[in-house]
Amino acid sequence: MRILYTIGYQGRTIENFFQALEERSIRTLVDVRFSPASRKPGFSREPLSKMCARNGISYLTAPELGAPREIRNLSAGAGREAFSAAYRLRLGAYKNNLNLIYSWIKHTTVCLLCFERDPGQCHRSLLAESFKNLSSDELKIIHL
């Protein structure tokens, strides 16, 4: 059985964040934020990339798999169902990217990164579920 991890850094320190990755032997962190920047120290692309390298973790960005503002705003206005539908439609345009990440899932321990601590409030839970459709094997999703 393959496992795909997801993590949100909301409410975490950089030390706590990397401890969670280390405990699961994460080897590839895929940043799926539309804009991989943060006001929280250590969680913007450049410092996060350096910290990953120091911890033996490959860091990759996939902003095309993020949720742009117009889609995120649907969650607050039209509701979660509208958000989910719009995000899934967006994913349809990025099948090649999904297939590439899925090939990594088959060969290494991958974790999807976004901001929200609660995966139910984040697009990464929808993204993680989309990998189940690509899997001929069972894929277990664990939200850290």
Average pLDDT over residues 116-144: 87
- Chain segment 56-88, per-residue pLDDT in tens: 999 999 999 998 888 877 766 667 788 888 889
- Give the mean pLDDT of the chain: 90
The answer, as to whether pTM is greater than 0.85, is: yes
- Chain segment 36-55, per-residue pLDDT in tens: 999 999 999 999 999 999 99
Encoded tokens for 40: 């929280």
Q: What is the domain partition of the chain in residue ranges?
A: 2-143
Residue 139 to residue 124: CA distance in whole angstroms? 15
CATH number of 2-143: 3.40.1010
Q: Phi and psi at residue 38, in whole multiples of 5°?
A: -150, 145
Q: Band of the pLDDT at 114, cuts 50, 70, 90?
A: very high
**What is the H or E stretch that residue 90 is in?**
helix 80-91
CA atoms within 13 A on the CB side of 88: 12
